[in-house]
Structure formats: C-alpha cells, structure tokens
Structure 1
Amino acid sequence: MTISHLVKAFHELTVDELYEILKLRSEVFVVEQNCVFQDMDDKDQKCYHLMVFSENGLVAYSRLVPAGLSYEEVAIGRVITAPSVRGTGLGKVLMELSILYCHQLLGTGPIRIGAQTYALGFYESLGFVAEGETYDEDGIEHIEMVRKS
C-alpha cells in the first residue's frame, strides 16, 4: 500500500478534505462505535489536521490540538484508521506522524491523549503513560495518557 500524508490548519483545508475528514470520523465514531455525540465541538478551527491517504482516499486521520484547548498540554485527538486498513501498521505510522507534527507545529513539550482503554498497550508502545482513573466518554471507557518529550 502506498501512502502519503498532509497536515493542514483548519483554514487551509479544502471543502473536499473537510468532507472526507468528517465522513471518516462519522463512519468510525458514530456508526462503528455506535456512539451518539457532538463531533463538531468548535475545536477543529483551532487545530491542525493530519490526513493519511492511500490509493483509496483518506484512510487515517488525527487532530493536533494546541495546549490549553482540550488539556493544559498539546494533545492528539480524533485518532482514526479506516476499517479497511486496520492491522496493517498504519495506526502506528499515524501516531508517529502525529507526535512529529505536534512537536514541529505546537512545541516540544509533553503530549496528552484521552485513550480508549482497549488501546492502552498500543499507546504505551509509543511512549504514552496512563495517568489518573478511567472515565466514561460517550459510553466508551477511556484513560488519559501523557507522553513526555
């Protein structure tokens, strides 16, 4: 599989890119995870958007969140891989790119995520450490994790 990626501020996104992002987020977070929630949370406009493409279009995405918007630290959120590419290692590539661009665009400090607990081992393999208690977010168990620089 050949992949490419782009990272853009919200105002740089084309209408088609924004549509593909929202379509993938809806496919995974609303339909697949059966989770009714307000995805458009007024944070997208202040974030960077990392898009990973294959020959089939957008297949992975994450939102790079400036410090002070979701957490005190810089954050990575809305981490998604399309069902068609799961198990290929693309999730790890997505997170490695997310970390790289967080440091390039938002500073070299710690990065915080709100991880679904089933993916705890995956995020630990990338240097994230669980912090605090688990919590319910939209019916799915999560835990905050931090990766020091």
Structure 2
Amino acid sequence: MPECSVVRKSWGELTTDELYSILKLRTDVFFVEQRIDEEELDNRDQEPTTEHFWIADDRGVAAYLRVLWDGEASHRDAHRIVGRVVVRGDRRGEGLAQVVFAEAVERHGHDAMLLHAQEYIAPLYSKFGFEPFGAAYVEAGLPHLSMYRPGA
C-alpha cells in the first residue's frame, strides 16, 4: 500500500479548489465513466456532521470518500454511513481506496458503520470488518450489497 497523506475536513473547512476537485472526481467517475444518472449532489455533503476524506496529488483529488451521520440508525445501531468511495482512473490499483478507507475506519471504528457497496468492491470492505446483509439489489443501475460493521 502506498504511503499517502489523508486529508479530513468538514464542509465549512473545504476550500473552493478542494471542493471543485472532489466534485470533479465524483462526476468523472460516477456520471461519465459509470453512467450513473441519479442525483449526485444530495445536500448531504454540506451537513455539519459530514466528514470528507481524500488523498490528493498534483492532479487534484485521487481518492475520496465521505462519512455521514444519521440520527436514526437505518440498520441495527449504525449511525455512521460511508459513501461516495471513489478513486481516479489513473490511480486505481495502487491501494488508495484502502488507505482512505482505513483512515475513516480508524477515526470512526468505535461506532457501528453502514455502507452500500457496489458488489464488485465488497471484498475490500470485508477486509475492514464489514459484512453483507440482505439480498443484493440494483442501485443507480449497478448491483449493490448493504454492508454493516459493528462498533469496536
């Protein structure tokens, strides 16, 4: 796994350049590459409890995820929801998703966590203690699994 510095910020701490780079990565991958036509900007990014984690290089954000807080647990006791996990195409295969994901779990692993994984990437999340529950389903036109990790 590469040695990379993970940045963590809330909405109010993001610079306009950081925000642009995050949104560019997310739209390049989710809209252009994966052709997901569902709402990307869902107003959850700007909530005061949302945390943005990313790794940047000289081209901008290379890997990203966000951690949401939901007051109502949607599964068991999980209030933390990991989402929008994405790696720029030219940096895939370097382990960046593992690095940024490990940072989020390190920071919030004491809380139960939930995520909706694209089915092909579920083995990555299993390495961090997430277990699938329920049947596979299609979300945004892609096969997904709901995954849960109890708090430590």
Structure 2 length as normaliser, TM-score?
Answer: 0.87
* SS class of match (1:44): coil
Kindly state the Cα deviation for residue 129 of structure 1 after the two structures are TM-superposed. Answer: 0.2
Kindly state the Cα deviation for residue 3 of structure 1 after the two structures are TM-superposed. Answer: 2.9
Cα shift readout 1:30-73 (whole Å, capped 9, x = no counterpart): 11101112100011111111121123321000011113378452
The residue correspondences of 1:97-116 to structure 2 (distance < 5 A) are: 97-103=103-109, 108-116=110-118
Q: Does the CA contact (< 8 Å) of 1:63 and 1:79 recur in 2?
A: yes
Cα shift readout 1:99-143 (whole Å, capped 9, x = no counterpart): 12334xxxx221100001111212112211001111211101111
Identity of aligned residues (%): 34
> Structure 1: which amino acid aligns with 2:44?
K
Hey, which of these two has a bigger chunk of helix by percent? 1
Choose between structure 1 and 2 for higher RCO, CA contacts under 8 A separated by at least 6 residues.
Answer: 2
Kindly state the Cα deviation for residue 91 of structure 1 after the two structures are TM-superposed. Answer: 1.3
Structure 2: stretches of 5+ with no match in the other structure: none
Cα distance in 2 for partners of 1:112, 1:92 equals 16
Q: Which residue of 2 aligns with 1:83?
A: 89
Q: Which residue of 2 aligns with 1:95?
A: 101
Kindly state the Cα deviation for residue 26 of structure 1 after the two structures are TM-superposed. Answer: 0.2
Select the residue among 120, 132, 135 that pairs with 2:134.
132
Structure 1: stretches of 5+ with no match in the other structure: none
Structure 1 length as normaliser, TM-score?
Answer: 0.89
* SS class of match (2:94): coil
